[in-house]
Amino acid sequence: MNIDLSMYDVRTDLALEAKEIATQAQSAGEIPGVWSETDKADGIILTRMHIQTDEAAQKIGKMVGHYVTLEVPELRQGDTTLQDKVATSFAREFEAFLKRIGITEKSSVLVVGLGNWNVTPDALGPVVVENIMVTRQFFELMPDQVNPGYRPVSAVAPGVLGTTGIESSDIVQGIVQNSKPDLVIAVDALAAKSLDRVNTTIQIADTGIHPGSGIGNKRKGLTQEILGVPCIGIGVPTVVYASTIVNNTMDMVFEHMKKHTPDTEPLFGVFGKMEETERLQLVREVLNPVGHDLLVTPKEIDKFMEDIANVIASGLNAALHEAVDTDNVAAYTH
């Protein structure tokens, strides 16, 4: 339960949102040094983004690297056909990541589930790990008998600082040193900028997990620099700050009323003309002292978490093992 209340700000863990904010902030259209494309199909909005230059990275506040975002507004409806489609899309995009960073079909992989088992919206990583098809032990114990189409995959959930007393990155570092995977995949729950992203959006990034991102106070990240091997980060927003809900709703209220009254000054006065960050600051000033600026989560979070964790685990199992696809993968998850 170790939330660092000081750390949240306009910054978001989603590169997609960060780019939107940066683009809004500058009036001159697209940001140079950022390539992106968007596909819409089957209820899935798929955005591939490449932050190519340090300037772009600084402007957006995200590392140079590749990012893929799957937005699936209907994902909370519990439709298993849609879930299967998302898992398949996820697997296809993930395979492209593996290829791009030179991970072959033989390379060994360690899947790390960050977060806290005992706090439902923070349990994304541990639940995904529980559904990963783990095979490394067979390659270690009886390498000759492993069927083709599989690679060595291991999976751990290192826990969080508040329940282990040890930084999760220190635990993962030790495991990487002793088990020597070629790639680390880190799955983590994120804080979202808006309630409609909660459990509907998945981000893949080849930049790993950075300090201070995710739920909980991570003081060290999981990156190639720290681990010595590449690290792909997978994130899903599962919580949102109460202050963010308020601020976003205010925006929507203003937009809504502007449609009817061109001159909004008499409508909202000085308040309506504040900068977004200034207004967010004000909202926090009001909420924090009374302890109201909680991280909140939808009431049905238990079911939502189960669904999206299964989507990611199915997608990963299919992407990591050639012999597995999202049709037969259900056998390995529950």
- The residue from 95, 170, 182, 276 that contacts its own copies (CB under 8 A) is 170
Rounded to 5 degrees, φ, ψ at 37 are: -145, 155
Instruction: Compute, in degrees rounded to 10, the torsion defined by CA atoms 207, 182, 86, 83.
Output: -120
Q: Which of residues 195-254 bind its own copies (CB under 8 A)?
A: 195-196, 215, 239, 242-243, 245-246, 249-250, 252-253
In terms of DSSP bridges, do strands 201-205 and 231-241 run parallel, antiparallel, or are they unpaired? antiparallel
Min separation Cβ 135 and its own copies, Å:
6
Interaction between residue 98 and its own copies (CB under 8 A): no
Using the contact rule CB under 8 A, the part of the chain among 8-16, 19-27, 133-141, 227-235 near its own copies is: 133-141
Q: Which of residues 177-196 bind its own copies (CB under 8 A)?
A: 177-179, 194-196
Interaction between residue 53 and its own copies (CB under 8 A): no
Residue 151, burial from CB neighbour count under 10 angstroms (0-12, 13-18, 19+)? buried
- What's the rounded Cα separation, in Å, for the pair 37 and 97? 16
Residue 208 is given by DSSP the state -
- The residue from 135, 203, 314, 326 that contacts its own copies (CB under 8 A) is 135
- The residue from 297, 314, 317, 326 that contacts its own copies (CB under 8 A) is 297
Interaction between residue 159 and its own copies (CB under 8 A): yes
- What's the rounded Cα separation, in Å, for the pair 58 and 267? 37
Interaction between residue 14 and its own copies (CB under 8 A): no
Query: Degrees (nearest 5) of the Cα angle 17, 285, 211?
Result: 45
Interaction between residue 26 and its own copies (CB under 8 A): no
Q: Which of residues 100-119 bind its own copies (CB under 8 A)?
A: 118-119
